[in-house]
Chains A and B, each alone.
Chain A
Amino acid sequence: MRLLKLVPDNTNIDFLRWRTIAFAISTLLIAASIAVLAVKGLNYGVDFAGGQMVRVTFQQPPQLEDLRQRISGLGHGEASVQEFGSPREISIRMPLPEGGEEGANRAASDMRRALTQAYPGVRVDAVETVSGKVSEELVWAGGLALLLAMVGVTIYIWFRFEWQFGVGALFSLFHDVTITLGFFALTQMEFDLNVVAALLTLIGYSLNDTIVIYDRIRENLRKYRKMEIGSLINLSVNETLSRTIATNFAMLLALGSLFFLGPDVIFSFTAALLISVIIGTYSTAYIAAPWLIWLKVTSDSFLPKDPVSRAERGPRNENYDGAKV
């Protein structure tokens, strides 16, 4: 039986040769993302912007402009109307209605009535109303949780590896999250709580990738004490390449089928995950690992911590077999 091998054995690709170019591209992408975020901003869903969102399924695809005017004519503010998956499924966004709860109720029931009158057989699938206060809190709680999770993880990596690794991981997370956010700002895809869940998944996934390579770098640092750091990282990336490709391929298989066949509700969610798998893989090799060179990681960091002081024994112990830890 011949087994599938996506990557040939013993590859020796000089990944780090392009690290300056990659870094330049990444810096550009981050700058561009921040710029787009500043200029266009995210298209917040009702979760974060407050307001009312009604999702409707029509019998026949309606004229969007006609529908928009009909709803704006109700006097509850300008409606924004958008296709949601198929031309028959429409999501209608309204600004936060005046008059608090009663206003929201009135706006919702007016809309329901107007729709059933104009388009017989229409079905209201979902209504979401979020007040300004709650949406503000959701932004805060979500942002805080995300930030703390990133910091907490960095600290752990610092303890388990070395501070350089912590910084590298944090920077690569920052890189991934910023570019994904930039993508959402650029496409103006709706940014809601489900996308935050996708971002969390992205963080988890990107970390997973980063740690697998870091683990190999740590191992090789112990094993090959005299190897120059650049070649050592190249070796580590090459050694883990087949794993990187296999895992990410499996992930793409699963996410791809969700993306193409899954329900529309999770469309932006799976889109975010797909992008993040690609960015995460790239950033591990070109962001997380090169940072170690810039921050000057040496094998001294991973000398065995014996009660015997290092100074006595000297920084290098050539007989030490790093493979057995």
Chain B
Amino acid sequence: MLDFPRWKIWAVTLTLIVGVWYAIPSLLPERMAQQLPPWLGPQISLGLDLAGGSHLLLEAETGGVARQRLENMEDIVRREMRSARIEIGELSTSDNRLSFLVRNPAQVQEALTLVRAQSQPAGLTGQPDWDVRVADGNRISMTQTGAGLSAAVDQAMDVARDVIDRRINALGTLEPTIIRQGSSRIVVQVPGLQDPEALKALIGRTARLEFKLVDLTATPEQLQSGRAPVGSQILPYPEGGATGRIAVQRRAIITGDQIADAQQGFDQTSGAPVVTIRFDGTGSRRFARVTQENVGRPFAIILDNIVLSAPNIREPILGGAAEIEGSFTVETANALAISLRSGRLPVDLTVVEERTVGPDLGKESIQKGAIAMAIGSLLVLIFMIATYGRFGIYADIAILLNVALILGIMAIMNATLTLPGLAGFILTVGAAVDANVIINERIREEQRRGRNVMQAVEHGYKEAQSAIFDANVTNVIAGALLFYFGSGPVRGFAVVLMIGIVTSVFTAVTVTRMFVSIWLRKRPKELVI
């Protein structure tokens, strides 16, 4: 017991000082903590369930990515074959496959080479992203491989994350956390936000803007049945006429990718809120050319596959700017402008989970919880002193240091304290109390067996160790498994549990032993425990 060398005392003390140092900001009330100099380290961050705010889980509709890739490939194949003067026919797409017929059997090989060149290694797997095959001698089919698709989804999700980031930042002062989760999900957390509906409207919108010429050849029957003429498609047009549908050409004049800027504004004649957009260089030129060729004909402004309006081209639009009308309010127009500026989402996202806690509720919870915990802790501390006297005081100091260490380590690791985390906290403080109880009860026992102070203490610590060790290792195993296999809240619990187990063993065994060994140097004759 006496062999607690000086260097060890220093090492323990230093560890404690560092831990407590980083815990200081978290132990102070928020107002004081904000005035602290930054070198004191950050305050521990509270989860949204405690601090209030909005948590959104978005899931991507990955089928859209596959469709989009198929459409792009269709365009590429048509273009490549046209420029190589290979006549093709019966081009069709279904599920994950694109297939077409090469009219002249002599050109099959050439077509195949061109098509194969389009297939690239997918991601890091090295597998091709398209599987190209020939059937019946002259039918070429291209199938998206799983690797290609998941690489494309992965890329799309990265872009989606950035787009969401830009959109939320455009709202200003929020401090969002936006992270990808799994293969097709994104978590958005915005502290302090009470009404997330505006936010959801903003980030949930794909914002795929397209300008397409209206196909005037479509008959009312075709509109009704939804079967479009060749090269056209039928889209919903909520504000247009009896059918509520309109036929437009498949090929877009211009897309949202060619937008240089979008702003909310007001229509000069009606004064209604509108979104004004400016095209970039190529966009402007293209728009000017198409409007010149189609004066007198209508074009459709399409947002996320819904036609907003279909104005007539009265004169060529050369300035590279356009105005989007729709039944906007200032807010919705502004939201659309932000969405257009930040680019379209490469995938459709839907909110599959939403949790919003009002800041007042969070604050009340914390206040009540803090008071309850303070009283509970005080009772425990008093109980320990009443039961174990001097050693109870040592235990109490160890327990308080344990709390400080957990907070300090969490602050250093930038971990978030949530409600389930608080449960882990209670459990580990309980474990620290228990370790002290085990040691002290054992010392009592050894004293009853007639050992003197020195021997009783020595045996008490020694014999208690295996129980404390096994109990804590089992909890670490449980914590690690929970962290690995659990999700959100379960993980929050596991993190605190694992940190807490380490600190509670350290404080309950090592730190108290240090106090005891310093006391034992005075060679006490009697120990009341």
What is the distance, in angstroms, from A49's C-beta to the closest C-beta of chain B? 13
A129-170 Cβ-contact flags toward B at 8 Å (1 or 0) = 111011001100110111011101100110010000000000
Residue among A57, A105, A124, A125 facing the most chain B CB atoms (10 A cut-off)? A125
In the complex, the chain A residue whose C-beta lies closest to that of B55 is A128
In the complex, the chain B residue whose C-beta lies closest to that of A144 is B485
B422-452 Cβ-contact flags toward A at 8 Å (1 or 0) = 1110110111011001100100110010000
| Structural contact, B369 and A193, CB atoms closer than 8 A | no
Majority DSSP secondary structure for residues of A touching B: helix
In the complex, the chain B residue whose C-beta lies closest to that of A196 is B490
Binds B, one of A1-9, A36-44, A66-74: A1-9
Given contacts A200-B423, A211-B467, A215-B467, contact A138 B365 (CB under 8 A): no
Bound CA span A242–B445, Å:
10
| Structural contact, B376 and A9, CB atoms closer than 8 A | no
**B interface residue count range (under 10 / 10 to 19 / 20 to 34 / 35 or more):** 35 or more
A168-212 Cβ-contact flags toward B at 8 Å (1 or 0) = 000000000000000000000000011011101101110110011
Chain A neighbourhood of B376, CB < 8 A: 253-258
Q: Counting CB contacts under 8 A, is B400 at the interface?
A: no
| Structural contact, A131 and B470, CB atoms closer than 8 A | no
| Structural contact, B433 and A142, CB atoms closer than 8 A | no
The answer, among A125, A200, A214, A261, for a CB contact under 8 Å with B375, is A261
A1-23 Cβ-contact flags toward B at 8 Å (1 or 0) = 10111100110000000000000
Given contacts A101-B200, A128-B356, A129-B353, contact A55 B361 (CB under 8 A): yes
B334-375 Cβ-contact flags toward A at 8 Å (1 or 0) = 000000000000000011111111101100111011011101
Number of A-B residue pairs at CB separation under 8 A: 245
Chain B neighbourhood of A129, CB < 8 A: 351, 353-355
User: Which parts of B370-394 form the interface with A (CB within 8 Å)?
Assistant: 371-373, 375-377, 379-380, 383-384, 386-389
Binds B, one of A224-232, A265-273, A298-306, A312-320: A265-273
Chain B neighbourhood of A247, CB < 8 A: 430, 433-434, 437-438
What is the distance, in angstroms, from A38's C-beta to the closest C-beta of chain B? 25
The answer, among B57, B377, B386, B485, for a CB contact under 8 Å with A254, is B377
Contacts beyond the supplied A207-B474, A207-B475: 12 A-B pairs with Cβ under 8 Å: A3-B529, A123-B360, A126-B355, A126-B356, A149-B481, A198-B423, A203-B478, A243-B438, A246-B387, A261-B372, A263-B364, A263-B369
Q: Which 10 A-B pairs have the closest CB atoms?
A: A197-B420, A257-B376, A215-B467, A145-B486, A261-B372, A263-B365, A254-B376, A262-B372, A125-B361, A263-B368
Instruction: Report which A residues bind B (CB closer than 8 A).
Output: 1, 3-6, 9-10, 55, 57, 100-101, 104-105, 108-109, 123-131, 133-134, 137-138, 141-142, 144-146, 148-150, 152-153, 156-157, 160, 193-194, 196-198, 200-201, 203-205, 207-208, 211-212, 214-216, 218-219, 239-240, 242-243, 246-247, 249-251, 253-258, 260-266, 269, 273, 323, 325
